[in-house]
Amino acid sequence: MKKDIFCVPKDSAPKSVEVTDYNVYSLFSKGKFYKFETDARKEEYVPLNCVCIIRSATSNKVLGYDYLEAQKYYKGYHITNAMPIFSFDEKSSEDIIIYCASLMLNSLVHTEKLTSDERLRTAILNAQFQTLGLFNPDSDLVDISIISNLIFTDEDFEVICKYLKEGVSAVPIGEMNPIYSLKAILSKIVEVKNGDNNN
5-186 belongs to CATH 2.40.10.10? no
Please, are residues 186 and 171 in contact by the beta-carbon 8 Å criterion?
A: no
Going residue by residue through the chain (199 aa), what tens digit of pLDDT does each one get?
567 899 999 988 889 999 999 888 888 888 889 999 999 999 999 999 999 999 999 999 999 999 988 899 999 888 887 766 666 666 778 888 888 899 899 999 998 887 888 999 999 999 999 999 999 999 888 889 999 999 999 999 999 999 999 999 999 999 999 998 999 999 999 998 865 555 4
Domain boundaries, the chain: 5-186
Q: What is the number of other CB atoms lying within 10 angstroms of the CB of residue 15?
A: 12
Give the CA-trace dihedral at 2, 72, 63, 19, to 10 degrees. Answer: -80
pTM metric for this prediction: 0.87
